[in-house]
Chain A
Amino acid sequence: MSLLEIQNLKTYFHTRAGTTRAVDDVSFSLEKGEIVGVVGESGSGKSVTCHSILGLLPQPPAKIEGGVVTFDGDELLDMPPPLLRAIRGKRISMVFQDPMSCLNPYLTILDQVAEPILIHEEVTKEEAEQRAIEMMKKVGIRDAEKRARSYPHEFSGGMRQRAMIAMALVTNPDVLLADEPTTALDVTVQARILRLLRDLRDDLGVGVIFVSHDLGVIAEVADRVVVMYQGKVVEQGEVLSIFENPSHPYVKGLLACRPTFETKFRILPTVDDFLDTEEAEDGSITIIERPDVGKRLADLERESETNEADGSDLPDVLLEVTDLKVHFSSGGGFFGKPHEVVKAVDGVNLTARRGQTLGLVGESGCGKTTIGRAILRLVKPTGGSILYDGTKLLEVPPNESLSYRKRMQIIFQDPYASLNPRLTIEQALIEPMTVHGLGADRHERRDRVVALLEEVGLSASHLLRYPHEFSGGQRQRLCVARALALEPEFIVCDECVSAMDVSVQAQVLNLLRELQEKRDLTYLFISHDLSVVKFMSDEVAVMEAGQIVEQGSAEELYRNPKKTYTQELLDAVPRGDLESLQARFKG
């Protein structure tokens, strides 16, 4: 018998809008000392499954409609609350996604790590704290004695997540439920946490259910994998066999649509290329594989090959950034103390060629976003020069700057925050044309808006809607359309696919690609995701602490990084390709 067994779990959400079957007949199990990866996109029900096990969902609106969860012979779903509380945090612990919001900001780290022992065991406070500090050392918090009495905000993101893990493991639980534990972290930190989890599994023999949206991460850490889609398990099995030989069309699509270092496609296949849905007469939906998927893949591959041929002679330089500096002063007010200067960007040189994509990659806080904003003069550079198509941008007088605004645009990370919620799509897209005097009259502008919407894969029927009525991917398309309304030649894409599911990400990346080819656009593609940057870029610049570590052609830089920092970054990326998986299991 398995340590933890989930059978036919059904968790529904009953709201005024109707019933959502968040988890619909899910079954899988976990053995002692095993790591099971649960993977799926947002809304697939993977987190809800996890929370259902420990009864952590707010009820209502959630309601567990059926199923059995057996842990070490006991049924958890019907267990009276006091007994369930004795298991929570003692025998089954949980680690959540965002360690900042999941740690109590009002209590010290030590208080929180020691708390589960104090609650579940008959020990003195000193003893509990001693054990807490031991565990904090074990998860790699240096100077644990000294730092234990700090508050969460005094820890870095990675250290916070280590503290969360220490808190979960301090009672020696049998099962650890980890819900997206590395999603909020930088890749290098993520790599260390993943290694830590594997080591702890080996040392302590704890069984781990590892929930993630990222197949790459799952491939690094899990023994078995459960793939969820729309509340159902579509496929489960050994990691290697699923990556080698997926059987379900959704899983095939998911594996194909993520760009990896080895991706050869110029246009990514999308999940929609693989699966189709068929609605039966009783309203139930069946997923079927598209019959023409093989042909589609072949087409994409052929297209990529033909495109690869050109590129012998380099296009001319459109943008040249020299010694760019952006310094912010913090602190200082009315009776200010001396200002502290933060050198967000400190002497950066970049070159972008017409019709190409320059990728800019780096970890959070390295200043990559600030560069993008400085080039568009959304922040004022402290020094340096920006040469754009032969003009020194920082010396353009204000009354002429409008024409440069027209030529350079930006797309942001959060499509929810990027559109004014009070304007209809029509108003939002017509406004830039009105301001810049594009189009003769209202009718012409409206026609152009419709054309733009169609170009980004939306339609005229969306004109009168408000932003909140669209999905995340659609909103990002709207942002693209708005940027295109001025017919710019240069677009800064600032983490513009980072908040998206892989299947949506693939669609948006494809859209950017197609537009680039059609309109000869130049992109500055800023992202923390090395795989996506590799896929999109002709040239790549790596950034650390306000400075460019190295810049070079994408192929060359990824194959032969010259700087150790670049090498570290590349090593930390969870590949999730067959080669590295086979290496992990066989080598």
Chain B
Amino acid sequence: MLRFIANRFLQGIIVLIALYTITFFLIKAMPGDPFTGEKNIAEETKELMREKYGLNDSVFTQYFLYLKNVFTEGSLGISTSKAHSVNEMIGQSFPVSCVLGITALLIAIAVGVPLGVASAVRQNSWIDYSSMAWAMIGICVPAFTVGPILQIFLAMKLPLFNVAGWSSPRDVVLPAITLGLVTTAYIARLTRSGMLEILSQDYIRTAHAKGLPISRVVMKHALRGGLLPAVAYIGPAFAALISGSFIVETIFQVPGMGQHFVNATKARDPFLLQGVVLFFGLLIVIMNLAADILTGLLNPRVRLTQE
């Protein structure tokens, strides 16, 4: 088990370095630099800034300098657009995204899993059809439609929540629902298909032959295997949820991490972009590992040794 984790950790570092390399060269391939677009700054000032941020060094030096800073100091650099430390910016926005993402995931699991299980157990019943229709709608209606609709009905027409902002605990609810909708839908669909697969297995017939009540057949014999596809999906999905969503943050004015991805790209801010991408990559690596460990706990046939 420990060797497995250590091994995966090593692989994770390789993935992160590869990830950094790809992002680095993608950014370098973009036309212009962070200051080309700024019309209000004199050319000399721009040149000074470039010097300060090390953008005039050779590509080679830039590549290794940043990598060295990450490894020796854990520093993700200074944002060229905001002139703040990237570590600080992530430190401020990540807790917000984390709260929002965890709430969204909890909603998604609490709603998605029971819906999926019920649909599978009562396949082709009205429960099945209606929850799968809702799941499909959840996948097909974009967040930027759901968000405003929720705002109008649950904040303006019925003043249950604030329209936007991030000051009271209640402000989590609307953005979390919006954010978690797609995840809920996917979890419900994956749980359903996973459960259907398991329920058609021979050992479920054995369980019936033993005279077990249906509830016990489902809970004790089918659920563990049936949840595996959903668990594998939840890992990376969770990483995406807690690293923020620009759209939800914009609609509900939440100071989360998603804004940095888009703003950094728009502003050609190389360090901020590399910083948030690396952070996201780290989350993905950790969550995939967590999903694998959970799968191993759920499934005795998977031994957690080397691959």
Contacts and interface: CB of A to CB of B under 8 A. Distances in A.
Interface string A317-342: 00000000000000101111100000
A84 B298 CA distance: 32
Interface stretch (A16-24, A102-110, A236-244): A102-110
Contact of A120 (B203, B208, B211, B306): B211
A427 B60 CA distance: 57
Contacts of A333: 306-307
Nearest to A87: B211
A404 B11 CA distance: 45
Contact of A104 (B207, B208, B213): B207
B212 A105 contact: no
A98 B26 CA distance: 54
Given A333-B306, A335-B10, A105 B301 contact: yes
B211 A90 contact: yes
A92 to B, nearest CB: 9
Contacts of A86: 211
Contacts of A93: 209-210
B225 interface: yes
Contacts of A248: none
Contacts of B206: 94, 96, 102-104, 164, 167
A157 B213 CA distance: 28
Contacts of A153: 300-301
A88 B225 contact: no
B209 A103 contact: no
State which size class the interface on A falls in.
Answer: 20 to 34
A105 B206 CA distance: 12
Contacts of A337: 306
Contact of B208 (A56, A103, A336): A56
Interface in B203-257: 203, 205-213, 216, 220-221, 224-225
Most chain B C-beta atoms within 10 Å of own C-beta, residue among A94, A106, A107, A153: A106
B203 A105 contact: yes
B92 interface: no
A402 interface: no
A153 B299 CA distance: 11
Contacts of B298: 106
B306 A335 contact: yes
B221 A104 contact: yes
A558 interface: no
B202 A102 contact: yes
Interface string A463-475: 0000000000000
Contacts of B7: 335
A313 B68 CA distance: 82
Interface string A158-170: 0000001001000
B201 interface: yes
Given A101-B202, A104-B203, A54 B209 contact: yes
Given A98-B202, A105-B203, A335-B7, A89 B211 contact: yes
Contact of A94 (B209, B224, B300): B209
Interface string A19-32: 00000000000000
Interface in A458-502: none
Most chain A C-beta atoms within 10 Å of own C-beta, residue among B210, B212, B224: B210
A88 B203 contact: no
Given A106-B300, A337-B306, A96 B211 contact: no
A366 to B, nearest CB: 25
A96 B213 contact: no
A101 B212 contact: no
Contacts of B209: 54, 56, 88-89, 93-94, 96
Given A105-B300, A336-B306, A337-B306, A56 B205 contact: yes
Nearest to B208: A56
Contacts of B212: 85, 89, 115, 119
A151 B10 contact: no
B300 A88 contact: no
A116 interface: yes
Contacts of A167: 206, 210
Interface in B260-307: 298-301, 306-307
Contacts of A90: 211
Nearest to B7: A335
Nearest to A101: B202
A151 B211 CA distance: 22
B252 to A, nearest CB: 41
A334 B210 CA distance: 45
Interface string B44-65: 0000000000000000000000
Nearest to B3: A337
A116 B206 CA distance: 11
Contacts of B213: 85, 119
A405 B280 CA distance: 54
Contacts of A56: 205, 208-209
A87 B212 CA distance: 10
Contacts of A94: 206, 209
B225 A105 contact: yes
A395 B61 CA distance: 54
A56 B211 CA distance: 10
Contact of A106 (B10, B216, B224, B307): B224
Interface in A336-355: 336-337
Contacts of B225: 105-106
Given A333-B307, A336-B306, A89 B210 contact: yes
A526 B209 CA distance: 37
Contacts of B203: 101-105
Most chain A C-beta atoms within 10 Å of own C-beta, residue among B11, B202, B301: B202
Contacts of A164: 206
Nearest to A336: B306
A103 B203 CA distance: 5
Nearest to A120: B211
A107 B211 contact: no
A335 B305 CA distance: 12
A88 B210 contact: yes
B266 to A, nearest CB: 38
B200 to A, nearest CB: 9
A120 B210 CA distance: 9
Interface string A102-135: 1111110000000110011000000000000000
A101 B205 CA distance: 10
Nearest to B223: A106
A116 B11 CA distance: 45
Given A101-B202, A102-B202, A88 B301 contact: no
Given A88-B211, A115-B210, A153-B301, A96 B202 contact: yes
Contacts of A151: 300-301
B78 to A, nearest CB: 36
Given A105-B300, A336-B306, A337-B306, A85 B211 contact: yes
B203 to A, nearest CB: 4
Most chain A C-beta atoms within 10 Å of own C-beta, residue among B11, B201, B205: B205
Most chain B C-beta atoms within 10 Å of own C-beta, residue among A86, A98, A119: A119
Nearest to A153: B301
B306 A107 contact: no
Given A153-B301, A336-B306, 5 more contacts: A88-B210, A93-B210, A96-B206, A115-B212, A335-B306
18 contacts: A84-B211, A87-B211, A88-B209, A88-B211, A93-B209, A93-B210, A101-B203, A102-B206, A103-B206, A104-B221, A107-B221, A115-B210, A119-B212, A151-B300, A167-B206, A334-B307, A335-B10, A335-B11
